[in-house]
Amino acid sequence: MKLARITLALLLALASAPALAAEFALKDGDRVVFYGDSITDQRLYTTFVETFVVTRFPKSNITFVHSGWGGDRVGGGGGGPVDVRLQRDVVAYNPTVVSIMLGMNDASYRAFDKKIFDAYAKGYEHIVDTLKEKAPGVRLTLIQPSPFDDVTRKPNFDGGYNAVLIRYGDYLKELAAKKGASVADLNTTLVMATKKAEEADHETAVKFNQDRVHPGPAGQLLMAESLLKAWNAPATVSEVEIDAESGKVTNASNTTATELKANGKISWTQEDAALPFPINLNDPVTALAVKSSDILDALDRQMLTVKNAKASEYTLKIDGKDLGKFNRDQLAAGVNLATLDTPMIQQARHVHDLTLKHNNIHFTRWRGVEVPLQGEKSADMKAALEALDRVEASVVKDQREAAKPKPHMYELVPNS
């Protein structure tokens, strides 16, 4: 009886304990290749993901290659047959992680056709099997196709093209389970946000996906959110809670807060372990996308909470820069610093600029030199490719250095 009671108590304790958060899917040393068609070739959702990872995990060495090619289908396209594409543009980089997004072109922009779908299924399975064979141990993420916009404009046929893409995505769930891959839904979140935005502002909602096929930066930001969620990305940049009455830091997560003083003015030094995700809230299209989604709560919480503040209102300063006025209740509820133009956001923007720069260099090397001159065997050709690789590596080094967080001086100055 005693053993039974102990066992029951343990089971009840386990049942009531909070579930452990799943670990982020990418690990130190991973080499990630994004493979797909023109939507990947835009280098938007992919570069957003890269910048998020580099800024959220600045101590990790995770590298990224963006290998989308406009017009691609499961059989290949302008970059060559699929087996050429896979060897040259994926396997050659010795990836440990590969994401695959294909389907927009494969479904042929028409009502569901079983023959067309069967060709897609066969071709997609060939891609998965080839990568598993040629890159042993690779972890695959099969991406359900991003949406064709049937929200802000009427569908072109009964049911709409996006419904066809959803059926293709449902197949990918089954294939992922069969092949031991993960799956990411880049359709649902963007459609839901577009519906919400459409109710608020049709003209701006249209700009989420202007040509209905290729989402712009705002739409692809939400696609990046979906991929990062599928990879169990952490929501927290940092969290600090201060009790102004006792003059103590009562909570600090993913950061250190030191030298706290609370004598009228509240001041301290804070050094986070990560940078915020640099979302451009000054762009009205992006601002509507953020308002229509949960991206801030899901991926970008850099929270400052101050309890028992004495003054009714304070001006927040970081490194002497005024960032806004906040009343006692706002501070007690918590302020998300990721929504302000902080020195940390400015630093993260610089990181993203370097993300774009190194990807542009790689694109020039790949699409401007390697592929057009692939039959050229001269030493000069090899030297040119190696030189561009060195230039890109230098920019990546700068990117990683720029992603290292710095200490900042915080002040809450009473306004009364």
Give every CB contact of residue 5 below 8 A, 6+ residues apart in sequence.
Answer: none
DSSP annotation of 73 reads B
Asked if 201 and 20 count as a contact pair (C-beta separation under 8 A), the reply is no
- Tell me the pLDDT tens digit for each residue of 85-119: 999 999 999 999 999 999 999 999 999 999 999 99
Q: Encode 64-87: b = buried (16+ Cβ within 10 Å), e = exposed.
A: bbbbbbbebbbbbbebbebeebbe
- Tell me the pLDDT tens digit for each residue of 104-163: 999 999 999 999 999 999 999 999 999 999 999 999 999 999 999 999 999 999 999 999
> Do you know the residue count of the chain?
416
Q: Encode 241-267: b = buried (16+ Cβ within 10 Å), e = exposed.
A: bbbbeeeebeebebbebeebebeeebe
- pLDDT in the model for residue 21: 60
Residue 4 clears pLDDT 50, i.e. is over it:
no
Q: What's the mean per-residue pLDDT of the chain?
A: 95
Mean pLDDT of 342-359: 98
* pTM of the full structure: 0.94
- pLDDT in the model for residue 350: 98
CB burial of residue 171 (10 Å; 0-12, 13-18, 19+): middle
Mean pLDDT of 407-414: 98
Name the architecture of domain 27-230. 3-Layer(aba) Sandwich (3.40)
Asked if 162 and 227 count as a contact pair (C-beta separation under 8 A), the reply is no
Nearest-angstrom CA–CA distance, 389 and 401: 18
Residue 305: in which H helix or E strand, if any?
Answer: strand 301-307
| Position 374 confidence tier, pLDDT thresholds 50, 70, 90 | confident
Residue from 75, 154, 152 nearest 121 by CA:
75
Residue from 282, 226, 251 nearest 52 by CA:
226
Going from N- to C-terminal start, the domains of the chain cover: 27-230, 239-416
Residue 269: in which H helix or E strand, if any?
Answer: strand 265-272
Pairing status of strand 236-243 against strand 301-307: parallel
Pairing status of strand 321-327 against strand 313-318: antiparallel
